[in-house]
Structure 1
Amino acid sequence: MRKITIKDVARNAGVSIAAVSYVLNGKENKVSQDTIARIHESIKDLNYIPNMTARGLVKNTSELIGVIIPQTEDHKQLVFENPFYSEMISAIEGVVRDYGYHIILAGVDKGKTYLDISTSRNLDGAIIMGIYSEQLYEECKLANIPIVLIDSYVHDNDFAKVGIDDELGGYLATKHLIDNGHRNIGLVTGMIRKDGVVEKRFLGYKRALQEAGLFYNSDYVFENSVSYVHGRNSGSLIASKFPEITAIFATADMVAFGVIRGIKESGKEVPGDVSVIGFDDISMANIFLPPLTTVKQQISLKGETAAKLLIEQIRNKRGVKNQGDRTEIPLEVVERETVRKLTK
């Protein structure tokens, strides 16, 4: 079937091609109300779909926003396997769609450039998750488009940032276990990188131990990837080799799910033998069995906030004041059924 063009719309409506172009590009003041009505009726009759790329060239905008997730793990699929990201992306997409924008989702491999994405797609702006202070970050400045960073501890005032106090989150999770009588507490986490989210949660874990006068044992830190598989392997190892550990802080809910599975496969129970607290409060946390005690970070609110900040920058042509400010989303511990209170 032949593709319907703007010429077909004009011929069917009995108007000029220029009139159709005015209507499609928001310049309806240049034509009469009768002409506008005829053009819209023609578009409906012919089921015409405007060429967004061509409209973007005319308006000097693509109406596209990039949502970019650096692949910091060696296993490339880890990011997209984690429901945390789907909840975040869904929140972002809902906001930008309300403003007439569309998103392009991209995972950038380690060693690749962000510039390739922004220039080849002619993005109006971008949201980047979990970027570290390295060469790729410097390249973001060269893209010359509004950018909002999520979960970044890069110390730079060029970009607006949205995140949480991850150090506080790690502290709250560990303190919750301590307040419930636990003294030997394991940490199951992703790779601890300088100025990264995981490092902040790790530092919060250490602070809570120190504040309670508890010894920090590096053997109790199980560091690998933010994945269910790592959690499962660590849960099995702890249950079989570290009987003194009575509680575990997993720095992401997906890791916590794996930890619980590994513990159960080793013949022990949660929370009967080992307590577990997660981090994120993804939607699965409440329906998991047993329901997961976790640190809630309001994932959707974080995504919505970042999207609104970016739209504001785009609409104001990057003239937003205090662009380098960091917006922090509040945290809270959600108690469910995976932490048991120890009695003396």
Structure 2
Amino acid sequence: MKNVVRAKDVAKEAGVTAATVSYVLNEKSTVTISEDTQKRVWKAVKKLGYVPNQAAKTLSSSRGTGLGKSNLIGVVIPQTEPGKKFMFSNPFYGEFLSALEYGARLEGFHLLVSGVNADQSYIEIAKNRSLDGIIILGMYPSDEIQEYKKSGIPSVMVDCYCDHDHYFHSVRTDDRYGGYLATEYLIKNGHDRIAFVSGEVKEIGVNYMRYLGYKDALEEYGIPFDEKLCIHGYISYEFGIKAAEQLSKNSMGVTAVFATADIVAVGMVKGFRKEKVRVPQDISIIGFDDIYDSIICDPSITTIRQNVEAKGAAVADLIVSAAQSIDYPKKEIIIPIEIIERESVRKL
């Protein structure tokens, strides 16, 4: 299979950034590019045989679906938690979409972001907009999966565990291992009454995988699992406050909390402070994601870092490659995780 030449390949050949290549090819009048740089870019374009995306779409009908004419990538965020207008109250999505949009834009694509209710189908929207590709975040098993397969539109699943036959491209974190790492870290710091605070735990979902990791660590270290220490709600700052207030009124001997998202952990710090419970002196907290809010929180949040920016960039690269070549081989990308130690965990 012939490799697709991308803008980043031209940038590497010319010794410039992908953004500079985009500016030169699109003749941006608002950006000043030296004549020498422009010559290097056009020389690289000619040498590599690069065809700017819009022209390639016009010249090629190899996909055979009649859909790839818009330079639009759809981003689907299923509304998995009832009553939520959208998920952008969680900064994770802003950081992820920022990196995704930038990577797609450099290749001449634009995003169409949509929330989809549980009883809605996205496929008709995708067909009507002639989308070149679809990115699906956090999807649970449903009949909708078969509709995506039938559509023939290149798709990338992000943080999904329902693609059992590996039909789609995939980018995710090892959430079960992340849940294990977070819980083990607390155990190694002397804690054995550890609360698990998360959004709704559905089978084959991110929260469920982190829940399994939590249980794995408890079992490995011989600590009995106690269902009463698991508090489920929704992923938000407000829920974090409520969960902290609940634990403050009935601590059940808890000395540490694993919150499955940093935004929940930040809310818990606020909730505990309202109840005169100090973090980490009275109770320790570890989060997950490493969003910016976890850094500026007081105390700053010890967390499991998944590189959200790298995840967004990886998804952009994957969907653009898939949109430009129907024969692009299926890929599963696992974003590495690590513990970031800050101020919210006390050693007993």
TM-score interval, normalised by the smaller of the two chains: 0.7 to 0.9
AA partner of residue 106 (structure 1): S
Per-residue CA deviations over 1:199-237 (Å, capped at 9, x if unaligned) read 000000001111111011000000111112221111011
Partner of 1:266: 275
SS of match in other structure, 1:80: coil
Q: Does 1:336 align with 2:345?
A: no
Q: Does 1:312 align with 2:321?
A: yes
Q: How does 1:156-195 map to 2 (within 5 A)?
A: 156-195=165-204
Q: CA deviation at 1:156?
A: 2.4
- Paired with 1:120 and 1:63, the residues of 2 have a C-alpha distance of 13
Q: CA deviation at 1:306?
A: 1.1
TM-score by length of 1: 0.81
| Structure of larger gyration radius | 1
Q: Does 1:117 align with 2:135?
A: no
SS of match in other structure, 2:101: helix
- Paired with 2:86 and 2:215, the residues of 1 have a C-alpha distance of 26
- Paired with 1:78 and 1:94, the residues of 2 have a C-alpha distance of 21
Match of 2:146 among 122, 126, 138: 138
AA partner of residue 329 (structure 1): I
The structure 1 segments of at least 4 consecutive aligned residues displaced by more than 3 Å after TM superposition are 55-60
SS of match in other structure, 2:134: strand
Contact 1:186/1:249, CA 8 A, preserved across alignment: yes
Distance 1:232 1:150, change over 3 A: same
Contact 1:61/1:124, CA 8 A, preserved across alignment: yes
AA partner of residue 228 (structure 1): Y
Q: CA deviation at 1:173?
A: 0.4
Q: How does 1:109-258 map to 2 (within 5 A)?
A: 109-154=117-162, 155-242=164-251, 244-258=253-267
Per-residue CA deviations over 1:45-91 (Å, capped at 9, x if unaligned) read xxxxxxxx9x9889751011111111101022351211100111111
- Paired with 1:178 and 1:96, the residues of 2 have a C-alpha distance of 42
- In terms of mean alpha carbon deviation, does 264-273 or 55-64 score higher? 55-64
Contact 2:135/2:158, CA 8 A, preserved across alignment: yes
- In terms of mean alpha carbon deviation, does 333-342 or 282-291 score higher? 282-291
- Paired with 1:268 and 1:102, the residues of 2 have a C-alpha distance of 46
Contact 1:115/1:142, CA 8 A, preserved across alignment: no
Partner of 2:42: none
RMSD after superposition: 2.1
Partner of 1:42: none
Q: CA deviation at 1:93?
A: 0.5
- Paired with 2:219 and 2:312, the residues of 1 have a C-alpha distance of 33
Which stretches in structure 2 are left out of the alignment for 5+ residues?
1-24, 27-53, 61-67
Partner of 1:294: 303
Contact 1:198/1:251, CA 8 A, preserved across alignment: yes
Q: Does 1:103 align with 2:107?
A: no
- Paired with 2:235 and 2:152, the residues of 1 have a C-alpha distance of 32
Q: CA deviation at 1:105?
A: 0.6
Task: Tell me the percent identity.
Answer: 41
SS of match in other structure, 2:336: coil
Contact 1:127/1:307, CA 8 A, preserved across alignment: no
Q: CA deviation at 1:243?
A: 5.0
Q: CA deviation at 1:174?
A: 0.5
Match of 1:275 among 284, 287, 291: 284
Contact 1:76/1:109, CA 8 A, preserved across alignment: no
Contact 1:192/1:223, CA 8 A, preserved across alignment: yes
SS of match in other structure, 1:81: coil
- Paired with 1:146 and 1:134, the residues of 2 have a C-alpha distance of 18
Number of residues of Structure 1 aligned to a counterpart in Structure 2: 290
Q: CA deviation at 1:122?
A: 0.8
Contact 1:71/1:108, CA 8 A, preserved across alignment: yes
Distance 1:57 1:117, change over 3 A: farther
Q: CA deviation at 1:109?
A: 0.9
- Paired with 1:258 and 1:226, the residues of 2 have a C-alpha distance of 10
Which stretches in structure 1 are left out of the alignment for 5+ residues?
1-23, 26-52
Per-residue CA deviations over 1:74-122 (Å, capped at 9, x if unaligned) read 0223512111001111111011101011111111111100212211211
- Paired with 1:307 and 1:58, the residues of 2 have a C-alpha distance of 23
Partner of 2:37: none
Contact 2:86/2:115, CA 8 A, preserved across alignment: no
- Paired with 1:283 and 1:145, the residues of 2 have a C-alpha distance of 34
